[in-house]
Amino acid sequence: MNFWRSLPKSTRRLLIIIGLPILLVSSCKAIFIPTTEKRYRLEISVEIDGKNYTGGAVQQLTATGAAEIFRGLSQTSAHYEFYGEAAAIDLGEHGTLYALMRYPPPADKPTAFHLAKRYYSAFVPTVCGLRVGRFGYAVFIWRIRMLWNDCEVPIDELPMLVRFANEPELDSVEQVDPKNLAATYGPSAKFLGAKISFTREPLSTEIEKRLPWMEAQKNTIFVLKYDPKKPQLKDIVNRTYFIR
């Protein structure tokens, strides 16, 4: 305060003239173009041979939305980014089951691995039943910010599940159907449930220790090798499916 009073009146006036518009713009941005970060733990449970296995990972959604008055200024009124790593469920002698940070291909094109029913960034609002209403994206983002109760994940909204027949080898990746775990793990295997719980825990950082092949793919630009005549999951899955 003493420093402020020691300044010449002309300097104080200039600082006020410069500072007020900046403060006003910042306030308007917070109101009309809000941004929120929601950190959550995705947890999945399965049963094999009468034993329950549960695992997961902490991920983060960052969402920015624009009020209706700004809709004409851009092609979209919301922007999503997501961070973290794939949820890992340690199944003991049965290996590890991974829930990728991608959705599976559409049911009518089960081998079209390059297609997904929606972007994974919509995972949290979809699972928690949020929809963009008549008040627009700005209010929608505020509703995401207010989420704190656990949300059950329907089996149809699960990310793509995979396992590795030989975990050190990326080429051994196999897709796992949560509705038919018995096809992969035997007749006793079944899906028990999944949920997301909002948290302030740090993001999970363990997956690179589990999958040593990821180190070689750091700073790599991936080119889609998808062949529609001979679709292979191993040609599609890469580091970006496991960590963001």
Q: Show pLDDT as tens, one digit a residue, over the chain (244 residues).
A: 566 567 676 765 665 666 555 544 444 444 445 678 889 999 999 999 999 999 999 999 887 765 444 444 443 456 778 899 999 999 999 999 999 988 877 666 655 655 665 667 778 888 888 776 655 666 777 778 888 899 999 999 999 999 998 887 888 889 899 999 999 999 999 999 999 999 999 999 988 888 888 887 776 655 555 555 556 777 777 788 888 8
What's the half-sphere exposure (Cβ side, CA atoms, 13 Å) at 215? Answer: 7
The pLDDT score that the predictor gives to residue 66 is 54
Looking from the CA of 173 toward its CB, the CA atoms found within 13 Å total 22
Alpha carbon distance 144, 159 (integer Å): 20
- Least Cα distance to 104 among 209, 2, 177, 170 occurs for 177
Q: Which helix (H) or strand (E) holds 17?
A: helix 9-32
Confidence at residue 197, expressed as pLDDT on a 0 to 100 scale: 96
What pTM, to 2 d.p., does this model score?
Answer: 0.78
